[in-house]
């Protein structure tokens, strides 16, 4: 188990939830499967008559949501979350030029489920807000050793509001990217 949290606008499955319902995948590749739960076995358990390897987005979205539930990962997922900034924390340099974390703000001891304590390095600060059911915004600030960003492709390309984002060579959709590649840009 790797301690982690997944922050997103919607439920597990991301963009698969907002794709056109009648659309089919070209094929269902192993790259779409998650460890410990084969999509084919999952689909068979749902009594789906699979005539081909092509599947609908709704099925993939349901598979990903089911995976989170079956693996007991619900506590790691937060939806209605919007990230407003991701910043690298300040690092100090010693006399020999080596980089060191400021111990006061970037590390803490985390008690693991087995009762052991582990040193956690907090290299990143993640800020944002969670939209409450009443529409209000509840701000948050998290610290993490590692961060993976998935900024959106199909449903709504993510805009990061950073310098250079509007340059003509910066693309925000897979279709624009494919068109640029085909034109040799």
The per-residue pLDDT for range 112-152, each reduced to its tens digit, is 555 665 555 668 899 999 999 999 999 999 999 888 877 66
CA distance 12 to 8: 8
Q: Given this model, what pLDDT does residue 134 score?
A: 95
- What would the pLDDT profile of 54-96 be if each residue is shown by its tens digit? 788 888 889 999 999 999 999 999 999 999 988 888 655 455 6
- Asked if 43 contacts 55 with a C-beta cutoff of 8 angstroms, the reply is yes
Residues 15 and 155 sit within 8 Å (Cβ to Cβ): yes
* H runs (alpha helix) in the chain: 39-45, 57-70, 103-106, 174-182
In sequence order, the β-bridge partners of residue 86 are 126
pLDDT at 104: 42
Share of the chain above pLDDT 90, in %: 22
Residue 155 pLDDT = 53
Q: What is the 3-state secondary structure (H, E, C) of 85-135?
A: EEEECCEEECCCCCEEECHHHHEEEEECCCCCEEEEECCEEEEEEEECCCC
Backbone angles phi, psi at 100, to 5 degrees: -130, 145
- pLDDT for position 120: 54
Q: State the pLDDT at residue 38.
A: 87
* Rounded average pLDDT over 153-168: 72
Q: In whole angstroms, give the CA distance from residue 64 to residue 165.
A: 31
What is the pTM assigned to this prediction?
0.59
Q: pLDDT grade, residue 103 (50/70/90)?
A: very low
């Amino acid at each position: 188990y790797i301690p982690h949290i997944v922050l997103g606008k919607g439920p597990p499955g991301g963009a698969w939830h907002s794709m056109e319902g009648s659309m089919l995948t070209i094929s269902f590749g192993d790259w779409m499967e998650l460890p410990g739960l084969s999509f084919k076995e999952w689909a068979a358990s749902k009594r789906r008559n699979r005539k081909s390897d092509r599947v609908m987005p709704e099925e993939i979205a349901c598979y990903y949501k089911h995976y989170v539930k079956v693996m007991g990962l619900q506590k790691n997922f937060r939806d209605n979350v919007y990230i407003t900034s991701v910043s690298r924390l300040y690092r100090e340099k010693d006399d020999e030029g080596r980089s060191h974390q400021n111990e006061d703000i970037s590390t803490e001891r985390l008690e693991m489920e087995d009762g052991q304590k582990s040193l956690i390095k907090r290299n990143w600060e993640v800020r944002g807000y969670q939209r409450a059911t009443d529409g209000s915004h509840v701000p948050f600030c998290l610290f993490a050793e590692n961060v993976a960003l998935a900024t959106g492709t199909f449903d709504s390309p993510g805009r990061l509001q950073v310098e250079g984002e509007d340059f003509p060579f910066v693309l925000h959709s897979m279709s624009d990217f494919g068109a640029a590649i085909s034109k040799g840009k």
